[in-house]
């Protein structure tokens, strides 16, 4: 279990995340939503141990992730897919995915049979086997995103954090990705996804965290969170829930004006 206890964090003295307390259990697929600048990315960076806390504590199975855990240990336990990825050196797709095995490879840098198997499996899961020998920089935006996700899968961490993972993906690959995340959670992994794609989060996630101005406003089942008046106020829209083929789907009816009145058509 991952537990955040009154977590606050920010940049250059500017608070971004403010007093977040929440529990994330194994086997859960958590969706993180909120408007731009609400603290979603900062929250994931803190969970991934990539950003120091201003106050509070994050525990993994009762142990503080910032103390008593080496970077190598943390990388075996937690994997992050960032919004954007830049590389300093030209790498092939396979070499890029193989970076996910860094926490397991010895000082001589040789991959063993388990490492090769993990890389090949990740390439298959993200439908990128066809490009394994192509340069990462030669790929389209959607293909690069799939390779970065494959790298995180090859890491084989039990906690997988993804920041806008469907950005640049076509509809088919976006649905395929969420189906994979659902299977990973069913297998016992902890999966946390920050996304603006509300309908995907509503369909696949067990719980939603709604952030606004650095604070966690709501935590609950998708239908409960999306029906809450605070959700519409946060996004400045009028939200409704409709059933499509037995599934609850969020529908944005209209944008609200700044004063809270319905916007002009």
| Closest C-alpha among 164, 153, 215, 231 to residue 187 | 153
Contacts of 122 (CB under 8 A, 6+ apart): 97, 100, 150, 151, 153, 154
Q: Give the SS3 label for residue 220.
A: strand
Closest by CA to 35, choosing from 210, 262, 191, 250, is: 210
Q: What pLDDT digit, counting tens, does each position of 213-254 carry?
A: 999 999 999 999 999 999 999 999 888 878 787 777 888 777
**Parent domain of 206:** 2-255
Assess if residue 45 is contained within a domain: yes
Closest-CA residue to 101 (of 82, 79, 118, 88): 118
* Per-residue model confidence as pLDDT tens digits over 5-30: 999 999 988 999 999 999 999 999 99
Q: Using N-to-C axis directions, what is the helix angle for 141-154 and 113-125, rounded to 10°? A: 140
Whether residue 33 contacts residue 209, with contact meaning beta carbons closer than 8 Å, is answered with yes
pLDDT in tens, 56-109: 999 999 999 999 788 999 999 999 999 988 787 889 999 999 999 999 987 767
Q: Is residue 263 part of a domain?
A: no
Structural domain count of the chain:
1
Q: Is residue 145 part of a domain?
A: yes
CA–CA separation, 115 and 221 (whole Å) = 37
Domain at 43, CATH number: 3.40.50.300
Confidence band of 258 (pLDDT split at 50, 70, 90): low
Please write the tens of the pLDDT for every residue from 150-182. Answer: 999 999 999 999 999 999 899 999 999 999 999
Model's pTM, two decimal places? Answer: 0.91
Rounded to whole angstroms, how far apart are CA atoms 194 and 189? 16
Q: Is residue 179 part of a domain?
A: yes
Is residue 261 in some structural domain? no
pLDDT of 263 higher than 50: no
Residue 264 belongs to some domain of the structure:
no
Q: Is 92 exposed, middle or buried (0-12, 13-18, 19+ CB in 10 A)?
A: middle
Task: For residue 140, tell me if it sits in a domain.
Answer: yes
Location of structure tokens 């499996």: 121
Collapsing DSSP states into helix, strand and coil, what is residue 57?
Answer: strand
Residue 176: inside a domain: yes
């Amino acid at each position: 279990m991952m537990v955040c206890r009154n977590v606050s964090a920010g940049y250059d003295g500017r608070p971004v995340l403010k007093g977040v307390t929440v529990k994330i259990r194994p086997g859960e697929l958590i969706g993180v939503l909120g408007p731009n600048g609400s603290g979603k990315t900062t929250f994931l960076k803190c969970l991934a141990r990539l950003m120091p806390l201003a106050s509070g504590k994050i525990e993994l199975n009762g142990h503080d992730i910032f103390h008593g855990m080496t970077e190598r240990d943390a990388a075996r336990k937690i994997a992050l897919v960032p919004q954007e990825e830049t590389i300093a050196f030209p790498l092939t797709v396979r070499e890029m995915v193989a970076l996910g095995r860094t926490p397991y490879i010895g000082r001589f840098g040789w991959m063993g049979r388990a490492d090769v198997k993990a890389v090949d499996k990740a390439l298959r899961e993200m439908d990128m086997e066809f490009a394994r020998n192509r340069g990462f920089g030669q790929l389209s935006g959607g293909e690069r995103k799939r390779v970065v996700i494959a790298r995180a899968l090859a890491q084989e961490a039990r906690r997988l954090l993804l920041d806008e993972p469907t950005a640049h993906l076509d509809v088919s690959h976006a649905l395929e990705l969420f189906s994979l995340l659902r299977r990973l959670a069913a297998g016992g992994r902890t999966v946390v996804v920050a996304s603006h794609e509300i309908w995907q989060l509503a369909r696949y996630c067990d719980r939603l965290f709604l952030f606004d101005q650095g604070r966690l406003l709501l935590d609950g089942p998708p239908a409960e969170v999306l029906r809450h008046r605070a959700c519409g106020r946060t996004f400045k829209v009028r939200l409704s829930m409709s059933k499509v083929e037995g599934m609850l789907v969020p529908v944005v009816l209209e944008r609200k004006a700044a004063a809270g009145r319905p916007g002009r058509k």
